[in-house]
Amino acid sequence: MLNFRNINVLFTTLALLFVLAQVLLGVPFYAYIVLAAVYLLLLFYGCYYVGSNFFIPVICSAQTNKKVVSLSFDDGPAAGNTLRILQILKDSNAEAAFFCIGRHVIKNQAIFKQVYDEGHLIGNHTFSHHFWFDMFSPKKMLADMRMMDKEVSNIIGKTPKLFRPPYGVTNPSLKKAIVRGNYTPVGWSMRSMDTVIKDEKRLLNKVISKIKPGAVFLFHDTSDATVSVLPAIINHIQANGYAIVRLDKMLNLQAYA
């Protein structure tokens, strides 16, 4: 199994073998550079591919043959777009998951409460979503995550248990914070890239091509393109016999602590 512990054991063993081979056979020095480069590439893969389970298991889809999918939205609540998304979901009788940022919750408390009151899932996406969050110590990460919990609890009286890493990045420090905070890490199986793709037709085609049983779709409240194509996405999903199920229900997870 490709994970952080096994890779460290493997590469430590290889490094020792390289030393022995150098003594006995004169292995060139650049072999160590190649070994280090491969190791760093694997670490990069583990950090930036949320479904790798490299540092910690992250739930990214449901293992099912049933025609069910889940929609999730990160980075909100956003003043205009979140309200439009809520109306689209209401019109389609669909429930979604919103992984919110604490500092945005403070600015949009009424919208945030509306998200919850209309039956959608609230997840923790940190308080700050700081650009350097991945470089924080475990203690600082956990403090940030718990700040978000406090804001959520103050408004809806519940504490999120599901956590989605900022940028989808995991590392040993975040693993410690997740374990200490008793969170359940949740990722996605389909990243829409809606913060990058502005062409609505291209975005629509990308999303609908990835519809399959148990899929978890990642969107962002902050994307105007997503708001524009969301009705078509939902229509396509439902027209093809799929049900849109709230993420915690589809994955059979406890939503709140």
Give the CATH number for residue 203. 3.20.20.370
The whole-number pLDDT of residue 26 equals: 75
The mean pLDDT value for 112-116 works out to 98
SS3 category, 122: strand
For the ranges 1-5, 86-90, 133-137, 181-185, the lowest mean pLDDT is seen at 1-5
CA distance linking residue 241 with residue 38, whole number of Å: 44
Cα(111)–Cα(169) distance, rounded to whole angstroms?
28
- How much of the chain, in percent, has pLDDT values that exceed 70? 100
pLDDT digits 0-9 by tens, 62-107: 999 999 999 999 999 999 999 999 999 999 999 999 999 999 999 9
How far apart, in whole angstroms, are the C-alpha atoms of residue 93 and residue 115? 14
Q: Which residue bears the tokens 């995550």? A: 145
34 and 159 assigned to the same domain: no
Same domain, yes or no, for 24 and 110? no
Q: With CA atoms as reference, report the closest residue to 71 among 193, 239, 233, 257.
A: 233
Q: Looking at the structure, do residues 29 and 96 belong to the same domain, yes or no?
A: no
Residue 256 lies in a domain: no
User: What pLDDT, in 10s, does the model give residues 175-220?
Assistant: 999 999 999 999 999 999 999 999 999 999 999 999 999 999 999 9
pLDDT-based confidence at residue 22 (cuts at 50, 70, 90): confident
Taking the mean position of all CA atoms in its chain, how far away is CA 64?
20
> In the structure, what pLDDT confidence band is assigned to residue 135 with cuts at 50, 70 and 90?
very high
Least confident of 19-33, 75-89, 118-132, 146-160: 19-33
Q: Is residue 159 part of a domain?
A: yes
Query: Do the Cβ atoms of 120 and 78 come closer than 8 Å?
Result: no
In this structure, are residues 165 and 53 in contact, taking their beta carbons and an 8 Å threshold?
Answer: no
Instruction: Report the 10 Å Cβ neighbour count for 162.
Output: 25
Pairing, β 215-220 against β 68-74: parallel
Q: Are residues 76 and 144 in the same domain?
A: yes
Residue 56 lies in a domain: no
Q: Measured between alpha carbons, how far is 166 from 46 in angstroms, rounded to an integer? A: 15
Residue 24 pLDDT: 79
Q: Name the pLDDT band for 28 (thresholds 50, 70, 90).
A: confident
Residue 108 within any structural domain of the chain: yes
Whole-number pLDDT of residue 18: 81
Report d(CA 85, CA 153) in Å as an integer.
23
**CA 223 – CA 78 distance, rounded (Å):** 10
In-domain check, residue 79: yes
Query: Are 98 and 44 within one domain?
Result: no
pLDDT at 30: 82
Same domain, 80 and 108: yes
By residue range, what is the domain housing residue 244? 68-251
